[in-house]
């Protein structure tokens, strides 16, 4: 006469899907309760949110393009983070690495952009962003390898260092500061879209597919192959499982850690290059929190590359959809997306628990101790 938690041996796929779907439905119900309490019809709101206002809207295609522009940096950052996480290197410095990548890309755009063809500028932007972000990540990895510092703390603090460097650039009006508009008396970031903007692939209609979407999908596939089938991927797996075993097997653990963290951070830098190459301007909120959300996405997907793409797509819908829906429902705060995201994350973790454990009733028992 009691409830007990027992371990499941096997959870069939359909059951897993049911659990995860139930988690999302319950999260939406919780959101519905909040919406009703502030006098909004949840069905209307969710309709607006999930369609992101694209249905029956003359400029719906624009919203969808915006959505993809949100999706690209998030998916790429989450994929990049999963590389380090697989190795149990807790890189939570995605924000800082993204900012460094953005600064690198913007520098190239301003300094090289006016003198070279755009496609060369774009490639150089990507390389500069990857190098700068990669080195920034490497710093934390090197400290860990050399002095056994805690990478969680280091990458976390380096986030703020990067953010304040960007804020400093944003606030400082000076002759050397080529990032700002010369004409304006107040410090305002200068636009560089005339020198550097990623080309879009025309699709016949008004909708244009940014080439970064294609590139991100290709990179995702490459990372998947890298982790699953290559020697490097195998080494990452072994180190993540047991660094001692890796050393025993003759792997150069320190070198592999440095290499992998550099890759991870460089890919985040690339995500930043994609972002600034699309917006054409820096801003202090350039990251759109992908460094944080990317961690959530990577864990929601349990570090599986294909699922990271699915999770990024869903999380981006939440962000974009809420912004769109809020345009029609003024009384809903912009933070509603965060509430929903939190509820989904929490409930998906609960669902994850139920895929591994079952609650069973005990048959017998309950006698008094002698």
Partner 1 sequence: MAESYAIEMRGITKRFGSIVANNNVNLNVKPGEILALLGENGSGKTTLMNMLSGIYKPDDGEIFVNGQPVSIDSPEDAKRLGIGMVHQHFKLVDVFSAADNIWMGKEKAGFVLRKNRYDDIEQIANQFGFELDPKKKVYNMAVSEKQTLEIVKVLYYGAKILILDEPTAVLTAQEIRKLFDVLRTMKEAGHAIIIITHKLNEVLEISDRVAILRKGEYITTVDTASTNEQALTEWMVGRKVDLNIDRPQVETTRPLLEVRDLTIENDEGAVAIDNVNFYIRGGEILGVAGIAGCGQKELCEAIAGLRPIKSGQMIHKGDNIVGLTPKAILEKGISMSFIPEDRLGMGLAPSMSITENMLLKNYREVKGPFVDRKSGRAAAEQVIKDLEVVTPSTETPVRRLSGGNVQKVLLGREIKAGPNVIITAYPVRGLDINSSYMIYNILNTQKKNGVGVLFVGEDLDVMLSLCDKILVLCHGKLMGVVHAHKTTKEELGLMMTGALDLSEKYENKPAGVAKDTLFTDAKGGETDGTSDHEA
Nearer to partner 1, 6 or 283 (CB): 6
CB closer to partner 1, 12 vs 370:
370
The nearer residue to partner 1, 58 or 364, going by C-beta atoms, is 364
Is 268 within 8 Å of 203 (Cβ atoms)? no
Q: Are 138 and 281 in contact (CB under 8 A)?
A: no
Residue 123 or 222: which CB sits closer to partner 1?
222
Whole-angstrom Cα distance, residue 365 to residue 3? Answer: 11
Among 5, 6, 157, 203, binds partner 1 (CB under 8 A): 6
Give Cβ neighbours of residue 313 (< 8 Å, ≥ 6 apart): 71, 75
321 binds partner 1 (CB under 8 A): no
CA 33 to chain centre: 28
Residues binding partner 1: number (CB under 8 A) = 31
User: Which tokens hold the place of 346?
Assistant: 């929490």
Q: Does 9 bind partner 1 (CB under 8 A)?
A: yes
Strand-pairing partners, residue 180, are 189
Q: Which two tokens stand for residue 266?
A: 């460089």
* Beta carbon of residue 10, minimum distance to partner 1 (angstroms, whole number): 8
Name the nearest CA neighbour of 125 among 107, 143, 148: 107
39 C-beta neighbours (distance < 10 Å), count: 9
Minimum distance of partner 1 from residue 231's CB (angstroms)? 5
Of 6-14, 48-56, 125-133, 138-146, which part binds partner 1 (CB under 8 A)?
A: 6-14
363 binds partner 1 (CB under 8 A): yes
Does position 148 interact with partner 1 (CB under 8 A)? The reply is: no
Q: Is 368 in the site for partner 1 (CB under 8 A)?
A: yes
DSSP string, 10-47: ---HHHHHHHHHHHHHHHHHHHHHHHHHTT--HHHHHH
Which H or E run contains 366? none
Residue 315 in contact with residue 341, Cβ under 8 Å?
yes
Q: Identify residues 271-300 at the interface with partner 1 (CB under 8 A).
A: none
Q: Is 7 in the site for partner 1 (CB under 8 A)?
A: yes
Supply the minimum distance, in Å, between the C-beta of residue 352 and partner 1: 17
Site for partner 1, residues 103 to 122, rule: CB under 8 A: none
Site membership for partner 1, residue 12 (CB under 8 A) = no
Token output for 161:
């260092």
Smallest distance from partner 1 to CB 367, Å: 4
96-105 burial: b if 16+ Cβ within 10 Å, else e:
bbbbbbbbbb
Shortest distance (Å) from residue 18 CB to partner 1: 20
Site track 224-243 with partner 1 (rule: CB under 8 A), x = hit: -----xxxxxx--xx--xx-
Q: Which is nearer to partner 1, 167 or 360 (CB)?
A: 360
Q: Which residues bind partner 1 (CB under 8 A)?
A: 4, 6-9, 229-234, 237-238, 241-242, 244-250, 362-370
């Amino acid at each position: 006469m009691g409830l007990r938690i027992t371990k499941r041996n096997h959870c069939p796929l359909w059951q897993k899907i049911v659990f995860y779907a139930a988690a999302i439905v319950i999260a939406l119900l919780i959101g519905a309760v909040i919406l009703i309490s502030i006098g909004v019809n949840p069905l209307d709101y969710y309709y607006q949110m999930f369609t992101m206002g694209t249905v029956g809207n003359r400029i719906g295609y624009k919203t969808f393009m915006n959505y993809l522009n949100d999706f690209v940096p998030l998916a790429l950052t989450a994929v990049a983070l999963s590389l380090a996480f697989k190795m149990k290197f807790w890189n939570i410095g995605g924000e800082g690495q993204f900012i460094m990548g953005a600064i690198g890309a913007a520098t190239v755009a301003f300094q090289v952009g006016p003198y070279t063809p755009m496609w060369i500028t774009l490639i150089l932007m990507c390389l500069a962003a990857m190098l700068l972000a990669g080195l920034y990540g490497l710093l934390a990895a090197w400290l860990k390898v050399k002095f056994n510092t805690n990478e969680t703390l280091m990458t976390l603090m380096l986030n703020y260092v990067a953010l304040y460097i960007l804020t400093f650039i944003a606030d400082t009006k000076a002759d050397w500061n080529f990032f700002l508009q010369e004409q304006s008396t107040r410090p305002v970031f200068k636009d560089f879209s005339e020198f550097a903007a990623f080309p879009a692939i025309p699709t016949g209609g008004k909708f244009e597919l940014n080439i970064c979407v294609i590139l991100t999908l290709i990179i995702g596939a490459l990372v998947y192959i890298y982790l699953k089938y290559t020697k490097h991927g195998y080494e990452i797996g072994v180190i993540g499982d047991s660094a001692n075993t890796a050393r025993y097997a003759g792997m150069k653990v320190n070198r592999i850690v440095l290499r992998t963290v550099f890759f991870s951070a460089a890919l985040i830098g690339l995500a930043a290059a994609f972002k600034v190459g699309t917006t054409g301007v820096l801003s202090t909120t350039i990251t759109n929190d992908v460094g944080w959300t990317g961690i959530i996405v990577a864990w929601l997907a349990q570090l599986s590359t294909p699922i990271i793409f699915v999770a990024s797509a869903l999380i981006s819908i939440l962000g974009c959809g809420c912004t769109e829906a809020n345009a029609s429902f003024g009384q809903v705060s912009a933070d509603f997306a965060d509430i929903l995201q939190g509820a989904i994350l929490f409930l998906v973790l609960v669902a994850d628990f139920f895929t591994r454990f079952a609650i069973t009733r005990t048959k017998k028992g309950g006698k008094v101790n002698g």
